[in-house]
């Protein structure tokens, strides 16, 4: 690890924030003051080339308890499916949800396009 990477990651507990994309995002959220112990609405995004596949994906996710929405993403000329649920954003939970939904999306020709949530201030 180079000096700049060490500096950015000092104090990082790799058991909570592993060295992967989700760990990096969660670590940045924690460093900015987000209280990751608080449950919040988490949004997971998936893109599809075909509207029918995106609709089918949303129907499947809805049956599993996710709130879903579908819109056309003009910049990528793809259908954007959003799946939302309330959870405490641990690395394990975010990664499990993302992986589970990614497999369902891939089976229909879609792919993951990230996730996000609003910050929860620390008390």
Tell me the domain boundaries of the chain. Answer: 39-118
Using CB atoms within 10 Å of the CB of residue 69, give its burial: 0 to 12 exposed, 13 to 18 middle, 19+ buried. Answer: exposed
Full-model pTM: 0.87
| CATH code of the region 39-118 | 3.30.70.970
Using CB atoms within 10 Å of the CB of residue 68, give its burial: 0 to 12 exposed, 13 to 18 middle, 19+ buried. Answer: buried
Residue 4 scores a pLDDT above 60 = no
Cα atoms in the 13 Å half-sphere on the side-chain side of 40: 18
pLDDT per residue as tens digits for the range 98-117: 999 999 999 999 999 999 99
> What's the Cα-to-Cα distance from 33 to each of 29, 48, 118, rounded to whole Å?
7, 34, 12
Q: How confident is the model at residue 118 (pLDDT cuts 50, 70, 90)?
A: confident
């Amino acid at each position: 690890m180079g000096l700049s990477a060490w500096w950015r990651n000092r104090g990082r507990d790799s058991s909570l924030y592993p060295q992967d994309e989700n760990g990096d995002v969660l670590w940045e959220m924690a460093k900015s003051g987000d209280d990751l112990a608080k449950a919040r609405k988490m949004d997971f995004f998936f893109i599809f080339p075909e509207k029918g596949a995106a609709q089918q994906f949303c129907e499947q996710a809805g049956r599993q308890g996710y709130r879903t929405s579908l819109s056309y993403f003009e910049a990528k000329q793809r259908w954007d499916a959003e799946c939302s649920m309330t959870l405490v954003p641990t690395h394990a939970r975010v990664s499990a949800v993302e992986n589970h939904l990614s497999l369902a999306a891939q089976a229909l020709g879609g792919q993951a396009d990230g996730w996000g949530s609003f910050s929860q201030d620390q008390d």
